[in-house]
Amino acid sequence: MFCQSALQFIRSSVHFLIALSLLGAMPSHLTETSSGNNRSSALRPVFASLKSYSPTAQKARAKRSVPGTARWFTFKGPDGDFTLSFPGRPGPEQQADQGAITIVRAFGLTTIGGNHYSVNFNDIGGNPSARENNEWAKNTEELLADADRKAGSRVVQIHRLEKNVIETELLESDPATGAQINYLRRSILRRARVYTLACGSIVNGEAVDKPICLKFFASLRFTKTSPVSVK
């Protein structure tokens, strides 16, 4: 059965407040690239959006797929900068939160079986072609893992797939019930925009279906169109 208590727990603002306090307390030198550019602006939307990364953070109104649907739906980003395939038509997942420069927009889908798929994104500002806006700083994995642990999640594994792509497997625990929620997250920095994909089960104790999540992640395609900022 779906873990309703975990849903309520993760929906709270605890992650959001911890994430912001973590970022505010970080020395600026910890977020510099090899070229010396400060990366706090790039990491801000990542930490500030922690509350929406988890599949358990989806709202009660999150769209559910129709059982028996075999064909995946190709979702086109509202700015036309990417496409992503879902096992059904996704819908808006949350109220818009303010990011570093623009609002954080999120879309997601929960299947009848309890798998949740989502994408959220926002802009960090600066030159879209600049190196620091197209690759993560060297210690970003460490900073993300530290923020996740302090937010109450267990980091099963974290690794960099490309200069601008970091994948994390997380296990979230509800201290009130002991419910365990397992999911994968990909954080992508491209042309001064941060994209976050999350995939996992909202069923208590069920292991993340990695093959299906990797299929979801692999379906992401970027267009040549530069994203249009929405403030």
Give me the pLDDT at residue 122, please. Answer: 87
Give me the pLDDT at residue 85, please. Answer: 97
Count of alpha carbons within 13 angstroms of residue 185, beta-carbon side = 30
- Where along the chain do its domains lie? 4-222
Reported as a single tens digit per residue, the pLDDT across 213-229 is 999 999 999 997 656 55
Confidence of residue 53 (pLDDT cuts 50, 70, 90): very low
d(CA 96, CA 68): 31
The CATH number of domain 4-222, selected from 3.30.43.10, 3.40.1000.10, 3.40.630.10, 3.40.50.970: 3.40.1000.10
Region of poorest pLDDT, from 29-38, 51-60, 131-140, 187-196: 29-38
Highest mean pLDDT out of 53-67, 81-95, 170-184: 81-95
Q: Are 87 and 112 in contact (CB under 8 A)?
A: no
Tell whether the model's pLDDT for residue 71 goes beyond 80. yes
Tell whether the model's pLDDT for residue 1 goes beyond 80. no
Q: Are 223 and 119 in contact (CB under 8 A)?
A: no
Mean pLDDT of 154-167: 96
Give me the pLDDT at residue 174, please. Answer: 73
Tell whether the model's pLDDT for residue 40 goes beyond 70. no
Reported as a single tens digit per residue, the pLDDT across 94-153 is 655 666 667 788 999 999 988 999 999 988 888 999 999 999 999 899 999 999 898 889
Give me the pLDDT at residue 142, please. Answer: 93
Residues in the chain: 231
Reported as a single tens digit per residue, the pLDDT across 201-211 is 888 889 999 99
Model's pTM, two decimal places?
0.76
Give Cβ neighbours of residue 155 (< 8 Å, ≥ 6 apart). 145, 148, 149, 168, 169, 170
